[in-house]
Amino acid sequence: MTSDGPVRGTGRAPALHDQWREPLRALRDPIARDAGRVRADRDRPRQWRKQTWLGRFISTYGWRAYALPVLVALTSVVLYQTVTGTSTTKPAASQPIQGPPVIGAVGTSILDAPPRGLATFDANLPAGTLPDGGPFTEAGDKTWHVVPGTTPQVGRGTAKVFHYTVEVENGLDPSMFGGDNAFASMVDQTLANPKGWTHNPQFAFVRIDDGKPDFRISLVSPVTVREGCGYEFRLETSCYNPVFGPDKQARVIINEARWVRGAMPFQGDVGSYRQYAINHEVGHAIGYVRHEPCDQQDGLAPVMMQQTFSTSNDDAAKFDPADVKADGKTCRFNPWPYPIA
């Protein structure tokens, strides 16, 4: 036939153009711009080294591979602290109490008793001398009367609810300290303050005026204080005596001389000093048996520091060397266990 006629069959499929000779492959992205680009031959030798076991681990687990060592380290720290009872955290500024209390412990030791062998120490500690101020009764009758009145419970008391009475020594002139009710009101308000001990949910307080309390908060004349707290060096102090008086009762002893005049470190702020005296001695009564040093220069003094005498560690180390070391730090006065509550 002529070239214009039909082509005779050869029995073979027509030959494909060269661009279609590669094997057909599924495209990863059919709508991509380079969808028609031929993929590289898989049989080519790789241009990179085979991954290590660490690389395969990271590729498989991603961010978990980095988090796992950190979790292991934290778990080890927690286990160590649990076993040893130690902690790496520092107390927050609103919680300056450094040691756990022995809650409800009574014992027989007088806390805040002047240490022995320091009979001339008053000459070396002018900050501890009694400031000038109003009059007080030098000596009472060494007996007490309970101030009538009760309060509802303040605080949660998850560990213990403490019951207390407010008492005044017989023979004191009430006009010198504002009367029994004024003293009782200051005690109640101080213990109920959110910056006080009830900020810690372990503690709660209830004032009673009948029955046997856990401790008695008593306003006492200086001469009776010397019998109940000691007078090794001649500075007026208050204290906690767990077995004082003919009935051997636990008693928070508040010195009337200090109640009226305060203390030099408090710079004339008698109201703050009264709050401090209550919180400090009640702190002993609820289980804080140790004193605290000034922790930070110019910071607030811990309420369990003996601020009646000084807020300087150098001074405190002289009469309380077991708990305080001389390091040059001096704090500002502070009446509260949790001053930033």
129 and 70 belong to one structural domain: no
Taking the CA of residue 193 as centre, how many other CA atoms within 13 Å lie in the half-sphere pointing to its CB?
21
pLDDT digits (tens, 9 = 90+) for 83-112: 433 333 333 444 455 566 777 666 678 888
Is residue 332 one of the residues assigned to a domain?
A: no
Mean pLDDT of 139-151: 95
Q: What pLDDT score does 128 carry?
A: 73
- In whole angstroms, give the CA distance from residue 169 to residue 130: 21
Does residue 334 fall inside a structural domain? no
Is residue 25 in a domain? no
pTM of the model: 0.70
Q: Do 70 and 168 reside in the same domain of the chain?
A: no
DSSP string, 225-272: HHHHH--SSS----EEEEEETTTTEEEEEEEHHHHHH--GGGTT-HHH
pLDDT over threshold 80, residue 149: yes
d(Cα 237, Cα 101) in Å, to the nearest integer?
A: 23
On whether both 64 and 209 belong to a single domain, the answer is no
Same domain flag for 187 and 299: yes
Which residues face 144 on adjacent strands? Answer: 169
Tell me the per-residue pLDDT of 202-219, one tens digit each, with 9 for 90 and over. 999 999 999 999 999 999
Q: In the chain, how many domains are there?
A: 2
Least confident stretch, 83-87, 116-120, 204-208, 230-234 = 83-87
- Domain around 65: 53-84
**What is the domain-level CATH number for residue 179?**
3.40.390
Q: Is the dihedral of CA 27, 29, 30, 32 positive or negative?
A: negative
The answer to whether residues 60 and 173 belong to one domain is no
* Residue 125: its H or E element: none
Q: What is the C-alpha separation between 52 and 55, in angstroms, rounded?
A: 5
Please tell me whether residues 69 and 142 are part of one structural domain.
no
In this prediction, residue 31 carries a pLDDT of 42
Looking at the fold, whether 131 and 79 belong to one and the same domain comes out as no
167 and 69, same structural domain? no
Does 208 lie in the same domain as 65? Answer: no
